[in-house]
Amino acid sequence: MNNAFNFVAVKCISMGKLYDLLSKDVRYEEALKACINCGTCSAICNAASFYNYDPLEIMEIVQSEDEKQLEDLLKSEKIWYCAECMSCATRCPRNNTVGLLIMALRKLSQQMGYFTESEKGRQQLALKRVIGHSILERGYCVHVEFVTPEMHPEAGPVWEWIHQDIASVYERAGANYNKEGAGVLRKIPQETLDEIHNIFEVSGALEHFNTIEKYSEQKATEMGVQFDETGGCDYMKKVYTENSGNH
């Protein structure tokens, strides 16, 4: 009798794992107050006009607390389609915000390693290495030196010309390129960069970055694609340029 009771108890705890983790996120508490499934969020959503994405579907899955549906959602493309424009927040009659819920789902997907199961999800490594590294190393969300012509052929020959003599071009444009003092593209003081690094460390962002790297490397091994810490490794190039055409 006791063994049967223990089995049921363990099973219940296991079944609630994903939902329990999600519900502890502060953005979940802010996002899902009293959804009445009216569909206003889907009607106003810009992303829903272009992708196979329905904010109301997301809300219903989360409200169901069904672990299988949650896991499938965290492994899917759908949670990466939201542009976080927050139009849903402006129109919801009950003050829910699907955009915030999407943020919480994305973080949980990364924590569990489920993000590597979708094409859009795997691109999180590229975002981490381009934007994340740019913030930590240069103090800019996207520094022009990280937007290389090789990785951005869509920028055309003008961008390639700029990169051939980038310092001279930006000096003529009036920027204080990589120099001390004020001005556009100025060099961010090391003291400030150290402070940014400390914020990332204390907030858990660096640990989260390592989690993205760990699961990405595991996926690369599974796919048989070369992986290392550089921006030029085969897996990085693959996730950066891969497009199935199904989006």
pLDDT digits (tens, 9 = 90+) for 23-79: 999 999 888 888 899 999 999 999 999 998 999 999 999 999 999 999 999 999 999
Coil/strand/helix, residue 180? coil
The Cα 123–Cα 238 span in angstroms is 9
pLDDT digits (tens, 9 = 90+) for 3-19: 444 434 443 444 469 99
The pLDDT-based confidence of 22 (bands split at 50, 70, 90) is very high
pLDDT digits (tens, 9 = 90+) for 114-124: 999 999 999 99
Q: What is residue 150's predicted lDDT score, i.e. its pLDDT? A: 85
CA dihedral 21, 23, 25, 31 (to 10 degrees): 150
Residue 1, pLDDT > 90, answer no
236 and 129 in contact (C-beta within 8 Å)?
yes
The DSSP code for 16 is: T
The Cα 31–Cα 35 span in angstroms is 9
The pLDDT-based confidence of 146 (bands split at 50, 70, 90) is confident
Could you tell me the domains of the chain?
2-112 (1.10.1060.10), 121-241 (no CATH)
pLDDT digits (tens, 9 = 90+) for 173-197: 999 999 999 999 999 999 999 999 9
104 alpha-carbon distance from chain centroid:
10
Coil/strand/helix, residue 92? coil
- Round the average pLDDT of the chain to a whole number and report it: 90
